């Protein structure tokens, strides 16, 4: 199998990250097993989004070790990391509003690694019927919930083995949040590992077993999510 | 105005709109994806024309037919596309993360290199290409003769637009280009290799530029000057249309084509002013052009492009400045006449470059048309002496006033803008001033300029003039430097680093920047005035783009993040130029390669490099 194999598909040790001169992560370590869903919780500005951007190589960072699927990703460019099978759904969704819904999915499409093309636009339109209805329409005209669906669907088009999901429930109606939850369950069923950043602990608990808490750029809790819920009360 | 005349002008306008669109669409696509304004786009256009001139004759010798002519155009376009591709792979790829200023300068370095190569390969004279077989005649439409080739051009515009549209909407490459134009980082996070995308964009952009150039050869001869000429036009079209928007470029090309066609007929010589008014008007109503979008947000934190960690001068620094000034005071006693002349020029450029550093480094206003104010000062002084009978002293007082007035008029428009739009508008302004100087022959003397601008009697001697220049330059630099450490300077830096935050604490950012623009304009014009009297003559090259680039190169060579950078850069660049004088035309190549090398190897410049060395040594000393 892949070199330097560990049981974790994503293994991060001692991650520091910087916005220009300002350091905003301090020695973050986290491991996620194949197919596991882990919640990353913390209040506003704690550093949840920064963890994800740093792993993707979108901001300056350094780490003692950082592997994905056994590959050292510390010096790889962002697109390499994505091609190894690590998907990223940003908090701001970052839909290409000048493109149609179908074109957005096309941007996310990657040739399947290992020949298993699990996610196709047809299947994604089944999971998110709204998207199917507006496939040829401009993505600029979508509601917030629809944009969130499109952002997830776009990332799934790359047939990832793990996905970094940044606050997918933020600002959405309960009905849509439930739909998000179902989509995440569906992803888990296909064996995709998920790192889910959330402020909504109750929602996180419906999909994740384990939780990490981050405070001012450092991990302060790593364990079963119930335990964290008990602590916070 | 007769109907047939109107129709002829209209068709003429359409033909030039077609040509403009084809070139500008390439520029806008490249900018959209790479976020780099490629100054070398005009050079690619020029290469396309030369390739076509060279290829066409042998091809037409094989078979004198229109399809052969078309084939020649396409081959020329493809070759130019390959040149664009090489430019991306060899140069641009290394500077995507660099500050905008460095990106612009490196592509300008390329302009100089390519111009030199073109003269070397094809000679300095114009080259006429063959006419298109089957399209040599004219067709009568509504009573006026329209060249058939113009009709062909009119057809090419929509055709190219359609093809570009198909590529952008019906191919995966095109979809990725459009996505990256909106959000590059997200495209990378989805696993797309941006390098390939950028290489592809440069090929496409280069091919469009080359096609545009090749299309011109039956109408106009290929010449080594056509790169800068088309560049300004293409910039204006992309800025008005919205940078990154292909439909915007089409719309703007149509407007400018008609404006030029009818403008020339109605108000000859005023078309450039019309174009400027249009551009300024559009940018006031829509700061991102007709169909453009605001800069996409990027996750990356921009490197500050100006003075960082500006400290009040230490005693050691004062001592050093004192020593330098003392050395300058005794210099005429040791130097020969030629060196004195060089020293005068260095002092003048130092003042102008310092004013630019004041504007860019401290104010964040990246002016690409600094030569405009230098030239305004020179012309104001020269005209005052020659036409109004002023003395030298009065003329030297008038020069900064003229510079400040010019900066006020243009600054009102300029300071409203940000980033690349601001840089492009300053460049366009400088081109207008240049055009006025060239075209208003009765007043400015046109290309010949003004001769016999001599200093007053008492300042005639070279040594005296040297001390006059030294006094004025040192005083000017000292005053500007004082302003950097005054509340005005702090406020300006605050506005540079975050306009939003500066607004929030109650600073009137627009007024601050306008004031800075005027102060820099005045200081630069003062330098221009000194320059006029030192040379005894003035000509429009003082206002031209290469002079503006010289000033920027001084900042680059000296180091934009250090306050002394502009001064060191002015000296270094001028001495380099003097040293390269025996090389003649090689100068362009030397300067181009110097700029490219500095951007790639040592973007912090001379003073920045020295500062780094000193810091490293100090650190080594404290740690040992
Ligand atoms: N682009 C940026 N430039 C500078 N600092 C930033 C930037 N983005 C975030 N930060 C800082 O980094 C820290 C962590 O921010 P981050 O966005 O990771 O928090 P978060 O946990 O995702 O918060 P939220 O729940 O609001 O999304 C904060 O102090 C924030 O101010
Ligand atoms: Mg966040």
| pLDDT tens-place string over residues B151-171 | 999 999 999 999 999 999 999
| Cβ B217 vs Cβ B129: under 8 Å | yes
Partner-chain contact A78 B183, CB within 8 Å = no
CA distance A26 to chain B (A): 19
| Cβ B238 vs Cβ B26: under 8 Å | no
Q: For residues B181 and B473, which has the higher predicted lDDT (pLDDT)?
A: B473
Q: Which domains does chain A have, with CATH numbers?
A: 8-232 (3.40.50.300)
Lowest model confidence (mean pLDDT) among A114-128, B202-216, B377-391:
A114-128
Mean pLDDT value across residues B121-137? 89
Residue A201: per-residue pLDDT: 87
> Going by DSSP bridges, is the β-strand pair A71-72/A65-68 parallel, antiparallel, or unpaired?
antiparallel
> Going by DSSP bridges, is the β-strand pair A218-224/A193-198 parallel, antiparallel, or unpaired?
unpaired
Pocket test for ligand 1, best of A43, A47, A212 (most atoms within 8 A of CB): A47
Nearest to A78 among B176, B188, B301 (CB): B188
Residue A6: per-residue pLDDT: 53
HSE-up (13 A, CA, CB side) for residue A79: 17
Could you tell me the pTM of the whole model?
0.88
| Cβ B278 vs Cβ B240: under 8 Å | yes
Residue B100 Cα to ligand 2 midpoint, Å, equals 28
> For residue range B597-617, what is the model confidence (pLDDT) as tens digits?
999 988 888 888 888 888 888
> For residue range A48-94, what is the model confidence (pLDDT) as tens digits?
999 999 999 999 999 999 999 999 999 999 999 999 999 999 999 99
- Vertex B262 angle, CA B257 and B263, to 5°: 90
Q: Among B520, B614, B586, B603, which residue's Cα sits nearest to residue B105?
A: B603
**Taking all residues of chain B, what is their mean pLDDT, rounded to a whole number?**
89
CA distance B221 to chain A (A): 40
Report residue B18 as tokens: 């077609």
Residue B588: per-residue pLDDT: 86
Lowest model confidence (mean pLDDT) among B69-73, B522-526, B541-545:
B541-545
Contacts of A41 (CB under 8 A, 6+ apart): A48, A197, A198, A199, A201, A204, A211, A212, A213, A214, A228
Residue B252: per-residue pLDDT: 96
Alpha helices in B2-40 (DSSP H): 3-34
Residue B301: per-residue pLDDT: 45
Helix B419-439, helix B371-386: angle, nearest 10? 30
Residue nearest to atom 5 of ligand 1 (CA): A19
Helix B337-357, helix B315-334: angle, nearest 10? 150
Mean pLDDT value across residues B129-148? 85
Q: Is A5 in the pocket of ligand 1 (CB under 6 A)?
A: no
Return the H-helix or E-strand segment holding A27.
strand A22-33
Q: For residues B286 and A109, which has the higher predicted lDDT (pLDDT)?
A: A109
Most confident stretch, A5-14, A82-91, B485-494, B580-589:
A82-91
| Cβ B383 vs Cβ B450: under 8 Å | yes
Is residue B355's pLDDT more than 60?
yes
Cross-strand pairs, A11: A31, A67
- Vertex A59 angle, CA B195 and A73, to 5°: 70
Is residue A4's pLDDT more than 50?
no
Mean pLDDT value across residues A118-127? 89
CA distance B5 to chain A (A): 41
The radius of gyration of chain B from alpha carbons, rounded to an integer in Å, stands at: 25
Partner-chain contact B179 A58, CB within 8 Å = no
Residue B296: per-residue pLDDT: 61
Is residue B398's pLDDT more than 90?
yes
- What's the DSSP call for residue B281? H
Is residue B415's pLDDT more than 80?
yes
CA distance B20 to chain A (A): 25
Q: Among A26, A34, A28, A29, which residue's Cα sits nearest to residue A7?
A: A34
- What's the DSSP call for residue B562? S
Q: Is A53 in the pocket of ligand 1 (CB under 6 A)?
A: no
Contacts of B425 (CB under 8 A, 6+ apart): B239, B279, B280, B283, B413, B414, B417
Please give the Cα distance from B594 to B33 (Å, whole number).
27
Mean pLDDT value across residues B353-370? 90
Q: For residues A46 and B140, which has the higher predicted lDDT (pLDDT)?
A: A46
Residue B335: per-residue pLDDT: 86
Residue nearest to atom 29 of ligand 1 (CA): A45
HSE-up (13 A, CA, CB side) for residue B192: 32
> Going by DSSP bridges, is the β-strand pair A60-62/A8-19 parallel, antiparallel, or unpaired?
antiparallel
Site from B191, B244, B248 to mutate, A interface, most A CB atoms within 10 angstroms: B191
Report residue B218 as tokens: 């039956």
Backbone angle region of B116, left / alpha / beta, with phi > 0 → left and psi within -120 to 50 → alpha:
alpha
Residue nearest to atom 6 of ligand 1 (CA): A19
Q: Among B432, B549, B594, B584, which residue's Cα sits nearest to residue B108?
A: B549
Mean pLDDT value across residues B579-599? 86
Q: Considering only CB atoms, which residues of chain A are within 8 Å of chain B? A: 19-20, 53, 56, 58-59, 77-79, 82-83, 88, 90, 94, 96-99, 103-104, 106-108, 110, 154-155, 158
Please give the Cα distance from B25 to B232 (Å, whole number).
14
Mean pLDDT value across residues B547-565? 89
The residue of chain B with its CA nearest to that of A56 is B189
Alpha helices in A128-191 (DSSP H): 129-133, 144-156, 174-189
Partner-chain contact A94 B183, CB within 8 Å = yes
Q: For residues B13 and B364, which has the higher predicted lDDT (pLDDT)?
A: B13
Site from B29, B174, B186, B300 to mutate, A interface, most A CB atoms within 10 angstroms: B186
Contacts of A230 (CB under 8 A, 6+ apart): none
Mean pLDDT value across residues A98-111? 94
Report residue B456 as tokens: 């007053």
The residue of chain A with its CA nearest to that of B304 is A20
Q: For the CA atoms of B104, B106, B109, B111, what is the dihedral angle to 10 degrees?
A: -60
Please give the Cα distance from B79 to B196 (Å, whole number).
18
Neighbouring CB atoms inside 10 A of B50's CB total: 25
Q: Is A38 in the pocket of ligand 1 (CB under 6 A)?
A: no
Banded model confidence at residue A3, pLDDT cuts 50, 70, 90: very low
Q: Which domains does chain B have, with CATH numbers?
A: 3-80+128-263 (no CATH), 323-619 (1.10.3470)
**Taking all residues of chain A, what is their mean pLDDT, rounded to a whole number?**
91
The residue of chain B with its CA nearest to that of A157 is B190
Pocket test for ligand 1, best of A22, A49, A51, A215 (most atoms within 8 A of CB): A49
A102-124 CB burial, b ≥16 within 10 A, e <16: bbbbbbbbbeeeeeeeebebeeb
Residue that the structure tokens 């819920």 belong to = A229
DSSP B283-309: HHH-TT-SS--PPPP-SSPPPP-S--S
> For residue range B281-331, what is the model confidence (pLDDT) as tens digits?
888 888 889 998 876 655 444 545 677 767 777 888 889 889 999 999 888
Residue A20 Cα to ligand 2 midpoint, Å, equals 18
> For residue range B486-499, what is the model confidence (pLDDT) as tens digits?
888 888 888 887 77
Please give the Cα distance from A37 to B579 (Å, whole number).
68
């Amino acid at each position: 199998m892949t070199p330097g194999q560990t049981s974790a598909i994503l293994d991060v040790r001692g991650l520091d990250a910087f916005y220009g001169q300002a350091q905003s992560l301090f020695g973050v370590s986290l491991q996620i097993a194949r197919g596991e869903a882990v919640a990353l919780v913390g209040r506003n500005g704690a550093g949840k989004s920064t963890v994800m951007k740093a792993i993707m190589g979108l901001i300056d960072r350094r780490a003692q070790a950082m592997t994905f699927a056994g590959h050292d990703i510390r010096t790889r460019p962002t697109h390499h990391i994505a091609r190894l099978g690590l998907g990223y759904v940003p908090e701001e969704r970052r839909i290409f509003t000048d493109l149609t819904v179908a074109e957005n999915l096309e941007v996310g499409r990657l040739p399947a690694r290992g020949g298993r093309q699990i996610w196709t636009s047809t299947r994604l339109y089944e999971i998110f019927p709204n998207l199917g209805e507006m496939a040829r329409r401009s993505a600029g005209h979508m509601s917030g919930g629809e944009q969130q669906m499109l952002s997830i669907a776009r990332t799934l088009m790359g047939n990832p083995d793990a996905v970094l999901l940044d606050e997918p429930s933020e600002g959405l109606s309960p009905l849509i949040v439930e739909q998000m939850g179902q989509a995440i369950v569906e992803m888990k069923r296909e064996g995709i590992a998920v790192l889910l950043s959330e402020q909504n602990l109750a929602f996180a608990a419906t999909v994740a077993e384990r939780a990490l808490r981050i405070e001012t750029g450092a991990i302060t809790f790593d364990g079963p999510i119930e335990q964290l819920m008990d602590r916070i009360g | 105005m007769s109907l047939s005349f109107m129709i002829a002008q209209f068709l003429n306008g359409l033909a030039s709109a077609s040509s403009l669109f084809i070139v500008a669409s390439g520029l806008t696509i490249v900018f959209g994806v790479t976020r780099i304004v490629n100054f070398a786009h005009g050079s690619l256009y020029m290469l396309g024309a030369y390739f076509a001139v060279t290829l066409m004759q042998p091809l037409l010798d094989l078979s004198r037919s229109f399809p052969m002519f078309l084939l020649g155009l396409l081959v020329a376009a493809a070759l130019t596309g390959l040149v664009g591709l090489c430019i991306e792979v060899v140069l641009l790829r290394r500077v995507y993360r660099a500050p905008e200023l460095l990106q612009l300068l490196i592509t300008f370095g390329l302009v100089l290199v390519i111009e030199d190569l073109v003269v070397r390969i094809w000679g300095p004279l114009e080259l006429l290409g063959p006419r298109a077989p089957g399209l040599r005649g004219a067709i009568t439409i509504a009573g006026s003769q329209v060249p058939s080739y113009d009709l062909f051009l009119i057809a090419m515009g929509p055709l190219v637009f359609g093809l570009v549209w198909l590529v952008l909407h019906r191919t995966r490459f095109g979809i990725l280009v459009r996505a990256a134009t909106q959000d590059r980082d997200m495209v990378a996070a989805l696993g797309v290799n941006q390098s390939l995308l950028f290489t592809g964009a440069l090929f496409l952009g280069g091919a469009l530029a080359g096609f545009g150039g090749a299309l011109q050869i039956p109408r106009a001869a290929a010449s080594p000057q056509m790169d800068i000429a088309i560049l300004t036009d293409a910039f204006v079209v992309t800025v008005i249309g919205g940078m990154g928007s292909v439909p915007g470029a089409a719309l703007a090309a149509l407007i400018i084509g008609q404006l030029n066609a009818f403008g020339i007929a109605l108000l000859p010589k005023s078309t450039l002013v019309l174009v400027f008014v249009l551009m300024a008007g559009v940018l006031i109503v829509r700061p991102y052009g007709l169909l453009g979008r605001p800069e996409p947000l990027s996750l990356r934190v921009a490197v500050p492009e100006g003075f960082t960690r500006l400290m009040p001068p230490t005693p050691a620094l004062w001592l050093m400045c004192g020593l330098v000034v003392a050395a300058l005071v005794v210099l005429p006693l040791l130097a020969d006449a030629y060196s004195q002349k060089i020293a005068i020029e260095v002092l003048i450029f130092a003042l102008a470059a310092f004013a630019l550093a004041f504007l860019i480094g401290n104010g964040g206003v990246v002016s690409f048309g600094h030569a405009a104010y230098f030239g305004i000062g020179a012309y104001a002084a020269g005209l005052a002496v020659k036409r109004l009978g002023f003395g030298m002293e009065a003329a030297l007082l008038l020069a900064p006033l003229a510079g400040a007035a010019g900066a006020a008029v243009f600054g009102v428009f300029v300071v409203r803008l940000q980033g690349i739009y601001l840089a492009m508008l300053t460049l366009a302004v400088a081109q207008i001033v240049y055009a006025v100087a060239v075209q208003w022959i009765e007043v400015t003397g046109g290309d010949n300029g003004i001769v016999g601008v001599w200093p007053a009697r008492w300042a005639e001697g070279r040594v005296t003039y040297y001390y006059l220049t030294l006094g004025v330059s040192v005083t000017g630099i000292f005053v500007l430097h004082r302003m950097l450490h005054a509340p005005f300077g702090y406020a300006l830096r605050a506005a540079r680093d975050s306009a939003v935050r500066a607004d929030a604490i109650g600073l009137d950012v627009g007024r601050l920047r306008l004031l800075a623009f005027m102060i820099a304009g005045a200081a630069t014009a003062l330098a221009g005035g000194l320059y006029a009297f030192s040379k005894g003559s003035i000509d429009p090259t003082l206002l031209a783009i290469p002079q503006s680039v010289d000033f920027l190169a001084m900042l680059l060579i000296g180091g934009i993040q250090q306050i002394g950078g502009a001064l060191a850069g002015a000296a270094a660049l001028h001495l380099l130029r003097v040293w390269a004088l025996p090389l003649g035309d090689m100068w362009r190549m030397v300067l181009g390669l110097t700029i490219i090398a500095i951007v790639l190897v040592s973007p912090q410049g001379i003073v920045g490099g020295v500062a780094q060395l000193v810091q490293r040594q100090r650190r080594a000393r404290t740690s040992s």
